[in-house]
Amino acid sequence: MFEVTVKDHIASAHQLHGYDGPCKNMHGHTWHVEVTVMGEELDAIGLLTDFKVLKGKLKEVLGPIDHACLNDLPAFKDINPSTENLARYIYREFFKVCSPLKLKTVQVWESDTASVIYYE
């Protein structure tokens, strides 16, 4: 089995309703996003997938949430745009475009020292 990971980032704002601390106020992050896909078969030139293609798909998924207020987006209408919920959102959106590869994980870094991994 092979795994391929690509990274990108978004800069967005959010606030966490019901949070008892400063994150209840509007603030921003530069979230770093890692997507890992997996598969068993390499193509004729020895690639599981082209990094460039995978990075392009990740950019497509991240585009609508980059430089946005996450609280204002339909995906976060009924849930807090926490890093956990953001990771799940990115996973489910990327899942739609990663076929025929299997999406393994999405890891979202809120800071240099704190991240969430989501998988199904």
CA pair distance 85, 55, nearest whole angstrom: 22
Instruction: Give residue 24's domain range.
Output: 2-118
Q: Which of 23, 32, 69, 84 is catalytic?
A: 23
- For 44-67, what is the mean pLDDT? 97
How far from chain centre, in Å, is Cα 33?
A: 5
Mean pLDDT of 3-20: 97
Catalytic residue among 17, 27, 67, 120: 67
76-98: pLDDT as tens digits: 999 999 999 999 999 999 999 99
Give 110's contacts (C-beta < 8 A, 6+ positions apart).
Answer: 29, 31, 83, 116
Closest of 102, 70, 112 to residue 89, by C-alpha:
70
ω into 81 cis (within 30 of 0): no
pLDDT in tens, 56-76: 999 999 999 999 999 999 999
Establish whether 98 is a catalytic residue: no
- Whole-model pTM: value is 0.96
Indicate which residue of 9, 32, 84, 110 is catalytic. 110
C-alpha 34/C-alpha 101 separation (Å) is 16
For residue 34, CA distances in Å to 39, 65, 76, 98 come to 17, 15, 21, 14
Provide the number of structural domains found in the chain: 1
Per-residue model confidence (pLDDT) at position 94? 98
Average pLDDT score over the chain: 97
| Residue 10: HSE in the Cβ half-sphere, 13 Å Cα cutoff | 24
Q: CATH code at 17?
A: 3.30.479.10
Average pLDDT of the segment spanning 4-30: 97
Whether 93 is catalytic is no
Give the distance between the most distant pair of CA atoms in the chain. Answer: 54
pLDDT of residue 26: 97
